[in-house]
């Protein structure tokens, strides 16, 4: 069993995202560390285990990178004091959740490489399926690794390609040709900021501008947080190079549009609702999913409510389509975060009840439609249904704004192996009985492309048909982003 499956998921039936990346280059020479900090703050939902920032001065010597990283949330790791020490007009930042492998400080990003051509600071979001082979290729030629993450494999290959390339962006492109899987990269060299997105476009990446500075970020919400205007999305398969002379683009790795495969869970769950992913509003997508559920799985009820936060927009969509009133049934404890210590088995406290409370006055004597974004293992859904019943709900009808999970994900989303998925080898009726609902309805598969406004998407976790052939052995426990 790999380390991925040893994690304590008690009371945690939510998917975890991979990471968030943020890069900035200020052409006027202003320090960028504090802006990167606020950008990471806006991307905190994408990873809460570790974070880091690396900056350098483009006017200084080539090996002048200052980096700081640690375990915890952005506001736990960084202080005003350590940010003030980070002088530099170019830099990258990262927030991480380990979809697999060790959650340790060594594995925190950005990674900083000092090599013969200078320095590279790299932040990566995604998951490679050929990391094992690429790592072994480097190890057999003498490379010594400091981490267990595939991001270091990427950094080494970029550094190696740089020795035979005219520019750092050419080295990034040549290294990207070897990578199989999901990657959105932000790389700072001594005098360039480079962004790259895998040819399938699994993970998002966009470009922003503020005054005389350019920004690369996982989501548009991070641009708005720091007062930057959205310029455009980095295209699937594109390598962009940002210098004071402007933005250069290389799309030689791009695929035909119909072969692109954006992760549909950016729209369903991962991205913040105020973000746009490849031109599609995440909030509108979730409203749309709720409307589809109302069309395809109608039921008579008195109140529609969402499991916070990701179920709320879909619940509103269900209400708008069905005419059944939308209301708040749950109060979420905002202060339960990464540091939450789960109650022991013998404790009377339920980890779900610590995070969520039910408004009895809102549900007592009513037929409730409860909207959530997914059911993974089912360990939380049954408790939430029971909480509604304990609060006096007459009926509880569960609607899920995604299809049933039937297969694992190899591209950076924490969807476990088949045996841990409640929908594997079970009918909808069997799942309904397991979670104690009066009825259960999932989003229909054909609705997914409508949610994403016709964009090409990856549906592998629902269908088992992946854009890339998955690895023969599940290496997610050893190689991750």
Do 306 and 247 share a structural domain?
no
The reported pLDDT for the residue numbered 342 is 52
Q: What mean pLDDT is predicted for residues 362-376? A: 96
Residue 461 lies in a domain: no
Domain count, the chain: 2
Do 172 and 256 share a structural domain?
yes
The reported pLDDT for the residue numbered 142 is 76
Do 305 and 256 share a structural domain?
no
Residue 354 lies in a domain: yes
Do 133 and 20 share a structural domain?
yes
pLDDT in tens, 379-415: 889 999 999 999 999 999 999 999 999 999 889 887 7
Do 295 and 209 share a structural domain?
no
Give the CATH number of the domain where residue 367 resides.
Answer: 3.40.50.2020
Q: Which residues are catalytic?
A: 19
Residue 443 lies in a domain: yes
Do 117 and 75 share a structural domain?
yes
Residue 471 lies in a domain: no
Full domain range(s) for residue 112: 3-261
Going by pLDDT thresholds of 50, 70 and 90, the confidence category of residue 481 is very low
Residue 267 lies in a domain: no
Q: With a cut of 80, say whether residue 343 has pLDDT above it.
A: no
Do 168 and 295 share a structural domain?
no
Q: With a cut of 90, say whether residue 300 has pLDDT above it.
A: yes
Q: With a cut of 50, say whether residue 156 has pLDDT above it.
A: yes
Going by pLDDT thresholds of 50, 70 and 90, the confidence category of residue 33 is very high
Do 257 and 145 share a structural domain?
yes
- Mapping DSSP onto H, E and C, the string for the chain reads CCHHHHCCCCCCCCCCCCEEEEEEEECCCCCCHHHHHHHHHHCHHHCCCEEEEEEECCCCCCCCCEEEEEECCHHHHCCHHHHHCCCCCEEEEEEECCCCCCCCHHHCCCEEEEECCEEEEEEEEEEECCHHHHHHHHHCCCCCCCCCEHHHHHHHHHHHHHCCCCCHHHHHHHHHCCCCEEEEEEEECCCCEEEEECCCCCCCCEEEEECCEEEEECCHHHHHHCCCEEEEECCCCCEEEEECCEEEEECCCCCCHHHCCEECHHHHHHCCCCCEECCEEHHHHHHHHHHHHHHHCCCCCCEEEECCCCCHHHHHHHHHHHCCCECCCEEECCCCCCCCCCCCCCCCCCHHHHHEEECHHHHCCCEEEEEECCCCCCCCHHHHHHHHHHCCCCEEEEEECCCCCCCCCCCCCCCCCHHHCCCCCCCHHHHHHHHCCCEEEECCCCHHHHHCCCCCEECHHHHCCCCCCCCCCCCCCCCEC
Q: What mean pLDDT is predicted for residues 319-338? A: 87
Q: What mean pLDDT is predicted for residues 39-56? A: 96
Going by pLDDT thresholds of 50, 70 and 90, the confidence category of residue 2 is very low
Do 308 and 409 share a structural domain?
yes
The reported pLDDT for the residue numbered 336 is 62
**Domain end point (choices 200, 233, 261):** 261
pLDDT in tens, 61-103: 878 999 999 999 999 999 999 999 999 999 999 999 865 445 6
Residue 470 lies in a domain: no
Going by pLDDT thresholds of 50, 70 and 90, the confidence category of residue 378 is confident
The reported pLDDT for the residue numbered 437 is 98
Do 122 and 231 share a structural domain?
yes
Do 282 and 224 share a structural domain?
no
**Domain end point (choices 193, 227, 261):** 261
Q: What mean pLDDT is predicted for residues 323-348? A: 71
Do 252 and 143 share a structural domain?
yes
Q: What mean pLDDT is predicted for residues 291-314? A: 96
Q: What mean pLDDT is predicted for residues 258-287? A: 96
Give the CATH number of the domain where residue 68 resides.
Answer: 3.60.20.10
Q: What is the mean pLDDT of the chain?
A: 89
Residue 477 lies in a domain: no
Residue 232 lies in a domain: yes
Q: What mean pLDDT is predicted for residues 337-358? A: 63
């Amino acid at each position: 069993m790999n380390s991925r499956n040893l994690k304590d998921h008690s009371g945690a039936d939510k998917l975890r995202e991979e990471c968030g990346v943020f890069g900035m280059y200020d052409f006027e020479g202003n320090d960028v560390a504090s802006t990167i900090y606020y950008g990471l703050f806006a991307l905190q939902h994408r990873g809460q285990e570790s974070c880091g920032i690396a900056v350098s001065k483009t006017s200084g010597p080539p090996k002048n990178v200052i980096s700081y990283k640690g375990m915890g949330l952005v506001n736990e790791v960084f202080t005003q004091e350590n940010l003030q020490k980070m002088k530099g007009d170019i830099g990258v930042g990262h927030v991480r959740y380990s979809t697999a492998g060790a959650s340790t400080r060594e594995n925190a990003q950005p990674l900083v490489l000092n090599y013969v051509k200078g320095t590279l600071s790299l932040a990566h979001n995604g998951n490679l399926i050929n990391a094992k082979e690429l790592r072994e290729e480097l190890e057999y030629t003498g490379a010594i690794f400091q981490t267990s993450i595939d991001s270091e494999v990427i950094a080494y290959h970029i550094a190696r390609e740089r020795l035979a390339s005219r520019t750092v962006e050419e080295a990034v492109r040549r290294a990207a040709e070897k990578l199989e899987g999901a990657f959105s990269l932000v790389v700072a060299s001594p005098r360039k900021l480079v962004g790259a997105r895998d040819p399938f476009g699994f993970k998002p990446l966009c470009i922003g501008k503020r005054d005389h500075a350019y920004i690369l970020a996982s989501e548009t919400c991070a641009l708005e947080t720091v007062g930057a205007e959205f310029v455009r999305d980095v295209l699937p398969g594109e390598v962009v190079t940002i210098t004071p002379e402007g933005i250069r683009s290389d799309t030689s790795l791009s695929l035909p549009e119909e072969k692109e495969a954006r992760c549909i869970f950016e729209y369903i769950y991962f991205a913040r609702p105020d973000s746009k992913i490849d031109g599609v509003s995440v909030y509108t997508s979730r409203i749309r999913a709720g409307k589809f559920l109302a069309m395809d799985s109608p039921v008579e009820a008195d109140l529609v409510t969402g499991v916070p936060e990701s179920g709320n927009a879909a619940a509103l969509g269900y209400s708008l389509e069905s005419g059944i009133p939308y209301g708040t049934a749950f109060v979420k404890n905002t202060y339960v975060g990464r540091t939450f210590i789960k109650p022991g088995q013998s404790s009377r406290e339920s980890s779900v009840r610590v995070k969520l409370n039910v408004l009895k006055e809102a549900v007592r004597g009513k037929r409730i439609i409860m909207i959530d974004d997914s059911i993974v293992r089912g360990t939380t859904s049954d408790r939430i249904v029971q909480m509604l019943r304990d609060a006096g709900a007459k009926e509880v009808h569960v609607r899920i704004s995604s299809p049933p999970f039937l297969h694992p994900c190899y591209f950076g989303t924490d969807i476990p192996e088949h045996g841990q998925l409640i929908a594997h080898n079970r009918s909808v009726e069997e799942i309904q009985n397991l979670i104690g609902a009066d009825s259960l309805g999932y989003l229909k598969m054909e609705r997914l492309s409508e949610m994403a406004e016709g964009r090409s998407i990856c549906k592998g976790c629902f269908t088992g048909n992946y854009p890339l052939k998955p690895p023969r052995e599940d290496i997610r426990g050893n190689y991750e982003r």
